[in-house]
Amino acid sequence: MNPSIFLPNDCWSAVVQFIGDLQTLQNFKNCSSYLSKVSLRHYIACPWMRVTHEFDFRRRDGEGEKDDVVDKKHPGIRARIRGKAMRTEEGMEMKSCYAGCNENAGFAEVDPYEFGGGPMSIEIKMRFKSFEQDWARVFDFRNSFEDSISLMNFNHCFGSWDAPRISWEVSQGSKKCEIGDNSTCFSKGEDDHIVFTVKGNTAKIYKNGVLGLTSADGLEPLRMKRHFHTIGAMVHSSAATYGAGGSTCQHVHGNVSYFRMFDGIELTSEDVDKMYSRNDEFN
């Protein structure tokens, strides 16, 4: 008997995890030995099964524009919609804040949680509508500028104001790394699927399934619970506020569909390719 006929495609073992003790299921009695041998292999083959934190901002039926987003892996952790941000079917829409930043800006404030101390991968799907601020934080998790992890648009690729480069920053006390160059840039008005990975000092940035940059100057985030976690805005730690004042507030003008963290895991290029190919299918 071929057990895969009961379960979906290449990731049917994902369902097996929730079945429980296969020995108690008469229909699977003759193939439980086979399943036990391949379950780990299929677990490894399905990178989305290894997500440790996941926030999906896309509004489903019955959800409101300002409803919190619950971490799918840790239901006690929430992303809270702030300012003029709102949830739509495409994700969290964040307004421009070039003028009147504090009045117009929007972002998500995430309940702090502990992470770091080893390899890490971050996956995010988003779309910039404009690039009104350099250093606009796609996400920014920090205690201070000495202990932080963030992804931002920084400067502009090839001197173009419509193509800022993707920049990843990690601080470990007095150590700081900033990864990014003109080969990997955000798009304007189009969805970008961005994955960042780090293991030891090797850091990589993928855009839309393609490896854009590898650096030997990476840093793994320290293991700790940071006090300020935001998606769509920079934390100004000196005032413990988000995006304080004027045109330098560094909020994103655009949309974030989802944010996923793989704490302790370095995703491979094969993983990233699978995730990009199916980035909406498995939500």
Structure pTM?
A: 0.76
Is the separation of the CB atoms in 135 and 148 below 8 Å? no
Q: What pLDDT does 9 receive?
A: 46
Q: Is residue 193 part of a domain?
A: yes
283 lies in a domain?
no
Q: Which residues of 81-113 are buried (b: 16+ CB within 10 A; e: fewer)?
A: bbbebbbeeebbbbbbbbeebeebbbbbbbeeb
- Whether the per-residue pLDDT at 52 is higher than 70: the answer is yes
Distance of CA 278 to the CA centre of its chain: 15
- Whether residue 67 sits in one domain with residue 98: yes
Q: How many domains does the chain have?
A: 2
Verify that 117 and 25 share a domain, yes or no: no
Whether residue 32 is found in the same domain as residue 91: no
Q: 280 pLDDT band (50/70/90 cuts)?
A: low
Both 38 and 58 in a single domain?
A: no
The reply to whether 123 and 168 lie within a common domain is yes
- Indicate if 27 and 127 belong to the same structural domain: no
**pLDDT (tens digit per residue) in 155-209:** 443 444 455 667 777 877 777 677 777 666 777 778 889 999 999 999 999 999 9
**Does 233 fall in a domain?**
yes
Both 143 and 9 in one domain: the answer is: no
Question: What is the rounded CA–CA span in Å between residue 187 and residue 164?
Answer: 8
Range of the domain at 127: 51-277
Per-residue pLDDT at 273: 93
Give me the pLDDT at residue 105, please.
Answer: 72
CATH of the domain at 198: 2.60.120.200
Q: Are residues 34 and 161 in the same domain?
A: no
Q: Is the pLDDT of residue 275 over 80?
A: yes
Alpha helix positions (H), 30-88: 32-45
Share the mean pLDDT of the chain: 74
- Is residue 206 one of the residues assigned to a domain? yes
Please tell me the least confidently modeled range out of 178-182, 244-248, 268-272: 244-248
The pLDDT of residue 35: 42
Average of pLDDT values for 251-272?
92
Same domain, 125 and 235: yes
Does 187 fall in a domain?
yes
pLDDT at 119 over 70: yes
pLDDT of residue 230 exceeding 60: yes
Q: DSSP label at 185?
A: B
In-domain check, residue 223: yes
| Residues in contact with 60: Cβ distance below 8 Å, sequence separation at least 6, in sequence order | none
Alpha-carbon span 72 to 78, nearest angstrom: 9
Residues 138 and 28 in one domain: no
Dist. CA 11–CA 274, nearest whole Å:
11
- Would you state the pLDDT for residue 43? 54
Residues 22 and 111 both lie in one domain: no
- Residues 31, 66, single domain; the answer is no
Tokens matching residue 106: 């929007």
- Domain for residue 282, yes or no? no
Q: Is the pLDDT score of 107 beyond 60?
A: yes
- Give domain status of residue 147, yes or no: yes
